[in-house]
Amino acid sequence: MADPLWRHIPDVAAYLIILGVHGAFSRWTPHRSTRRAVWAAYAWSLASFILGLPGIANQLPSWEWLAWLRAAGIAWGVCSLGVFILWLAWRKVPKTRYNPERRRLLLAAKSTVVAAPVAAIGYGMYIARHGLQLRTVDVTAPGLPRDLDGLRIVQLTDIHCSAFLSARDVARAVALANETRPHVAVVTGDLVTSASDPLDDCLKELSKLRADAGVLGCLGNHEIYARAEDYAAETGRRLGLRFLRGEAIRLSFGSARLNLAGVDYQRMRRPYLRNAERLVDPTAFNVLLSHNPDVFPVAVAKGFSLTVAGHTHGGQITVEILDQPVTIPRFFTPYIYGLYPENGGFLYVSRGIGTVALPARLGAPPEVSLIRLCAI
- Residue 134 confidence (pLDDT) above 90: yes
In the chain, the amino acid numbered 112 is T
pLDDT in tens, 29-59: 555 555 666 666 667 666 766 666 656 666 6
Find the range with the poorest average confidence among 36-50, 166-180, 238-252, 303-317.
36-50
pLDDT in tens, 230-278: 999 999 999 999 999 999 999 999 999 999 999 999 998 789 999 999 9
Q: Which CATH number fits domain 132-374: 2.20.28.270, 3.20.20.140, 1.10.443.10, 3.60.21.10?
A: 3.60.21.10
Confirm whether pTM is higher than 0.85.
Answer: no
